[in-house]
Amino acid sequence: MNSITEKAYAKINLGLDVIRKRPDGYHDVSMIMQTVNLHDTISIKKTKFQSVTVRSNLYYLPTDRRNLVYKAVEVFREHYPIRSGLNITLNKRIPVAAGLAGGSADAAATLKGLNRLFQTGLSLEELMQLGIKLGADVPFCLMMGCAHSEGIGEILHPLPPIPGCKILLVKPDVSVSTKHVYENLRLNEEISHPDISSMIKALKENNLYALIPLMENILETVTIKEHPIIEEIKGLMKSKGALTALMSGSGPTVYGIFDNKLKAKQAYDLFKSSDWGYQVILTEPYSPAK
Ligand code: ATP
């Protein structure tokens, strides 16, 4: 085998709670993550040279070791020496710096791809142990589907997926730094925490309508204060028939959950036809084949 192509899927957070700030600066979280059917594509080709080159369709994305694809190759190489060089082509469709874990998904897909290309036979668990070195969301991006994640994101308990629905993603043209959002989160008594245990129960009962009112993201308290446009998009989505609308991760992407395909398409058309400069994607939950 000389080359391989992997898909790197985005995620949304159905619920996101932050439990505490740890002495090492990281935060302990309790989140429900769901993979969605939106992916980047990564093609990895062996070359006879020693060097690793990464190319991407987005001119503004770094392609050196600041790119998580490149970093994933380095982490893989530390453990499993690869003699040949690599030409990697990254075709991005997941909005960047959006709260959709695009970079983490690419890192996960790169680890998977290298494992297949060089037939290193690593188990999912072993890949996840490499993945956590690259970022807190990488183990989930390797596992995919739906899961409750704890610790800094590395403790994962698989869950049944969100029941059938359409998911509308709208990313406004604002920049959000995940680090900044976590640093500005105030975990005082007034803050409302999502009821993650009840969300897990609703997912296990396959009950979309019990899940919907429980969905909350504690990071909205920081990001929406700085970018009120997020609240406006949430309101507009709900007025167009979304059962709920929530920010994903640290934002700024807002997603709406629809149980009605037609309403979802109409809301998509509304956001798409506007000249607000948003990135708009209509998708659905994604579960990998077992
Ligand atoms: P998360 O939800 O995990 O916080 P995100 O979706 O908010 O992630 P990313 O799309 O992963 O954010 O991008 C965050 C930063 O990482 C960007 O500013 C970008 O320059 C850098 N980056 C490095 N590699 C990649 C990659 N392969 N794809 C996207 N961004 C990357």
Smallest CA separation from ligand 1 atom 8, residue? 101
Where are any strands of DSSP class E within 162-253?
A: 166-171, 244-247
Residue type, 48: K
Specify the pLDDT at position 234. 97
Specify the pLDDT at position 188. 80
Q: Give CA separation, 22 vs 27, 28, 190, in Å.
A: 6, 7, 20
238's enclosing H/E stretch is helix 229-239
> What's the DSSP call for residue 285?
B
85's enclosing H/E stretch is strand 85-91
Specify the pLDDT at position 1. 84
Query: Can you tell me the distance from the alpha carbon of 182 to that of 194, in angstroms, rounded to the nearest whole number?
Result: 17
Residue 42 makes CB contacts below 8 A (sequence gap 6+) with 5, 6, 7, 8, 69, 88, 89, 90, 91, 106, 109, 110, 113
- Decide whether any atom of ligand 1 lies within 6 Å of the 100 Cβ: yes
Q: Which atom of ligand 1 is nearest to the CA of 100?
A: 6
Specify the pLDDT at position 244. 98
> What's the DSSP call for residue 32?
E
Characterize 108-118 residue by residue with b for buried, 16 or more Cβ atoms within 10 angstroms of its Cβ, and e for exposed.
Answer: bbbbbbbbebb
Ligand 1 centroid vs 258 CA: distance in angstroms? 27
Specify the pLDDT at position 50. 82
Catalytically annotated residues: 11, 137
Q: What is the mean pLDDT of each run of 10 residues along the chain (290 residues)?
A: 96 96 91 98 93 94 95 94 92 96 97 96 95 95 97 94 96 92 87 95 98 97 94 97 97 97 97 90 92
In angstroms and rounded to an integer, the radius of gyration of the C-alpha atoms of the chain is 19
- Decide whether any atom of ligand 1 lies within 6 Å of the 67 Cβ: yes
Smallest CA separation from ligand 1 atom 13, residue? 97
To test the pocket of ligand 1, the residue of 34, 96, 134, 178 to mutate (highest count of ligand atoms within 8 Å of its CB) is 96
